[in-house]
Structure 1
């Protein structure tokens, strides 16, 4: 019976998406096209990109959206975005379209463009925060006027072969699907209007498609052991070890060192792990009812700063976080938030199957033990490139669960760590800072001494 249930679980799991993330099972980027008016040879549409991922941002240099027209459509004009190439528009005389390519590529505009080129939720340089961190900011939109496209619901053909880069590979987009038309409120919010036609495209992320190696690693230390467990050697592949930058290098004084390249190639500080980002988890203090952890994030890439960042940690005691001192913190409860967006997420039946297997495998609903840390706005939400400012840190105070809390066998260290949505490489468990045997022996010695003293006093008094 268990085998049948397991098989059903796997079928349900992978039939929804090839890029299933157990900590964010419903995460996706949904692109919605709303036709708001017809034109003599086509339509005007509002294209809205919603980042429904809990903790994965679309980072600088931002998203790039592409598709293939079903017919011979052209783009007459755009507000809030632009195509990277115009294509061959030689057959047009006088009024020349914005883009004539069969496969247009669209990018967001940068902040500060003239007002007449802007559109609602545009002009962020393509940066879209995660929904779990900034629900209001997790959207990007633009307006497009399409020609040679048909002027009715029956003659318009849906674009095909959607691609999303954000800012690198990793996203896979499904086909466009016609959905019930979106309802809008007029600017005075007194009247509802409806899109003439709406279709959705859903894109999911896979770390395996994005890169061959991890993008971050984790190191550990503790107050009860002088040993520091570093990131494993070549955690991120060491593919850049021949052109990394040493601390004493003269390159560090060159102008333009921090300028990103078009291919996003990193310029890494030389380390044994060769990762762009390292997360350090230090078990700092032990109190009677609480314990304290210091978390540090270091950027080793001289060409990249993170305008927004997130750190997701899975640990059995995160359900007892008492205070976080200089980061924002939010528990991740993805199973509870599914009902808020039912049109994008699993059915109730599949959720029950997932919850059953999570409980059966781990003994508890592990999502309750997962939390997201992120920077405070205008304080430490910008993680600078490698150098003296390429570090952010905070401390976390946790209440002890008397039934499960222990410092033994590496329990105090996280099970999984994600930085900006990518899972980080953890050290092997047998290298974690261990609790010295002497601590246990000293405890027994103290008890023995106390008993001996009491016996001596009793014998003396008697």
Structure 2
């Protein structure tokens, strides 16, 4: 008995000697142990653990405004029997969080870190994009699990409250995630996402993720690999019939200290080796001549070469390069829907072997006046095959390949760059582009929320800043209300007027005019129109453009310039210094038949488009249509019809000269 007591005291002494303290949650450094629920998950187990927080400067009495530095840990574990390819999760942050770092993942749908994620954040794997199964790896957690250390700032939640997100879920197709479980007074949430039994799982016939389709696809192919560097070829292909890029700018983010040594087929805006000299690259490559380095930025901006460098054996001389940044839709030119450039990349430790290959992340591409493209994360795909450069009937294969898919997103309110005005033969006022259609600019002296003033037709020929007097005088004549202050302008670089020109028994016509208020020319421009009730099916002819009816694309009418008229010229100064600037313009009449839509009513708005695209950019439409004036149409509108005809003749004559 005495021996048992002595043994018990022996084990109790160390624990009794240990100091006991009750620290607040922001002093805690170790995350909670994995919840036992993961042992019962047959799918993808997700967990989020709030680890710590610490009060940040400035210290404020206002609790809701006080900032706290936080640290948390998100975990993605493949506890199922199917490999998870290209994992992606959503964390529903809700406390005005600003994410500063996320190790083991990249932030999707946001800009560079730090990023405001108070409405939630999508995270994708980097560099570990795929999670294998425990069965295939003998339970190797390094291959079936990824842990994401998150640090950032949140607001307004002081201890003892725990600032947990609303939810956490897997975004990959084919999975269903129940609402996450949060034990009471816990800093942990977790859920088990399982395969949807109705989802047809595709059996992969390739080693890597299958290639995806998208509006713009980018292939990053490693052509040659060495211990310290590699040669990559970047191929961009425009797959959307209405997609387009002019003077494209491509950027990405190096995640492992890489830098660009040389390029062919493109170049970076900044050629500067100082970032390498004073960084880790300068420490390792002590004998490298950094004056010859193309770019050392973490986020290089890459642009296309001009056409005169296409045959330059030093910087050009590769297929599909050197087009001044133009990527056209295939309906216009198949060969100009593709662009290629090559880049030689130097690596840093610990990646100094031939197989340590990682693509850059956070791809972005923009044009001058083009659609907004949203790019996904690079996915490892089967190596791209190329014709052998020797000319023999052989195929060469890339060392490794990744694919980036970019899709067009609709522009947000007041963030587009082109707009549409409406007018008709049966109403003598023009409904102009919406107030602040393309942004408000300086709105201190104008009203951002007032509807635009109706205009006389001739005012479309002058810039917005020169229309004020015309608009006010027109309002007085027509007894329209004039707000004070006056509405802001549309601030668009390109505006399009759609005018219902005539309406008769078995058909109708419209006149379309494109105005270029920018200081640049638009080469190989195009315009696409979609009409309500599929009225486009009645399209017959366009007289001054090339026109094509794309039946498989919601009956879109695709217009482009005739040979010799493919340039939409820039805005120019008037004849006299005091004259307003003159926009570049193109115009044509379009005829339609009512054969396929016998019940349409042109005078009630059926003759106006539902969507308009210029060079791929979706333009903002007015919120109303012209209505028929009271009384006899001919008596009231005869003057307007005559004036519209004169304007048409003037524009066409001016264009021909």
Contact kept in structure 1, 2:250 and 2:303, CA below 8 Å: yes
Is 1:164 aligned with 2:371?
A: no
Contact kept in structure 1, 2:507 and 2:593, CA below 8 Å: yes
Match of 1:115 in 2: 312
| Structure 1 residue 111: Cα displacement | 2.5
Match of 1:434 in 2: 628
Contact kept in structure 2, 1:329 and 1:373, CA below 8 Å: yes
Instruction: Provide, for residues 232-253 of structure 1, a one-character-per-residue CA deviation record: whole Å limited to 9, x for no partner.
Output: 44443442678988569xxxxx
CA distance in structure 2 between the partners assigned to 1:201 and 1:194 by the alignment: 19
Return closer, same or farther for 1:190/1:404 CA change in 2, 3 Å cut-off.
farther
Higher RCO structure (Cα 8 Å, ≥6 apart): 1
| Structure 1 residue 47: Cα displacement | 0.6
Contact kept in structure 2, 1:56 and 1:310, CA below 8 Å: no
Match of 2:190 in 1: none
CA distance in structure 2 between the partners assigned to 1:104 and 1:220 by the alignment: 42
CA distance in structure 1 between the partners assigned to 2:357 and 2:172 by the alignment: 30
Is 1:174 aligned with 2:376?
A: yes
Instruction: Provide, for residues 111-136 of structure 1, a one-character-per-residue CA deviation record: whole Å limited to 9, x for no partner.
Output: 21361211322222222223443332
TM-score by length of 1: 0.67
CA distance in structure 2 between the partners assigned to 1:164 and 1:71 by the alignment: 21
Match of 2:263 among 54, 78, 94: 78
CA distance in structure 1 between the partners assigned to 2:582 and 2:298 by the alignment: 47
Return closer, same or farther for 1:128/1:240 CA change in 2, 3 Å cut-off.
farther
User: Secondary structure of the residue that 1:317 maps to in structure 2?
Assistant: helix
Match of 2:418 in 1: 216
CA distance in structure 2 between the partners assigned to 1:327 and 1:310 by the alignment: 10
Return closer, same or farther for 1:371/1:110 CA change in 2, 3 Å cut-off.
same
Return closer, same or farther for 1:379/1:415 CA change in 2, 3 Å cut-off.
same
Is 1:130 aligned with 2:346?
A: no
Match of 2:541 among 302, 323, 342: 323
CA distance in structure 1 between the partners assigned to 2:561 and 2:321 by the alignment: 23
| Structure 1 residue 199: Cα displacement | 0.6
Return closer, same or farther for 1:183/1:218 CA change in 2, 3 Å cut-off.
same
Contact kept in structure 2, 1:417 and 1:423, CA below 8 Å: yes
Return closer, same or farther for 1:136/1:102 CA change in 2, 3 Å cut-off.
same
CA distance in structure 2 between the partners assigned to 1:272 and 1:311 by the alignment: 23
CA distance in structure 2 between the partners assigned to 1:52 and 1:435 by the alignment: 45
Task: Report 1:307-456 matches (<5 A).
Answer: 307-315=523-531, 316-333=534-551, 367-385=553-571, 387-388=581-582, 390-401=584-595, 402-429=597-624, 431-434=625-628, 438=632
User: Secondary structure of the residue that 1:102 maps to in structure 2?
Assistant: coil
Task: Report 1:252-267 matches (<5 A).
Answer: none
| Structure 1 residue 75: Cα displacement | 2.3
Return closer, same or farther for 1:106/1:237 CA change in 2, 3 Å cut-off.
closer
Contact kept in structure 2, 1:408 and 1:434, CA below 8 Å: yes
CA distance in structure 1 between the partners assigned to 2:570 and 2:431 by the alignment: 25
Match of 2:498 in 1: 281
User: Secondary structure of the residue that 1:89 maps to in structure 2?
Assistant: helix
CA distance in structure 2 between the partners assigned to 1:71 and 1:227 by the alignment: 60
Size of the aligned set, in residue pairs, is 360
Instruction: Provide, for residues 363-406 of structure 1, a one-character-per-residue CA deviation record: whole Å limited to 9, x for no partner.
Output: xxxx4332222223532343433554600111212221353333
- Which runs of no fewer than 5 residues in structure 1 stay unpaired? 1-13, 17-25, 249-269, 337-366, 441-462
RMSD (Å) for aligned C-alpha atoms: 3.5
Return closer, same or farther for 1:108/1:439 CA change in 2, 3 Å cut-off.
closer
* Bigger radius of gyration: 2
TM-score by length of 2: 0.49
Is 1:206 aligned with 2:409?
A: yes
Return closer, same or farther for 1:180/1:438 CA change in 2, 3 Å cut-off.
same
CA distance in structure 1 between the partners assigned to 2:601 and 2:538 by the alignment: 14
Instruction: Provide, for residues 27-64 of structure 1, a one-character-per-residue CA deviation record: whole Å limited to 9, x for no partner.
Output: 532211112223453322211112223223212xx222
Instruction: Provide, for residues 118-165 of structure 1, a one-character-per-residue CA deviation record: whole Å limited to 9, x for no partner.
Output: 132222222222344333212221111222376877421222222323
Return closer, same or farther for 1:78/1:234 CA change in 2, 3 Å cut-off.
closer
Match of 1:228 among 430, 446, 450: 430
Match of 1:20 in 2: none
Contact kept in structure 2, 1:49 and 1:141, CA below 8 Å: yes
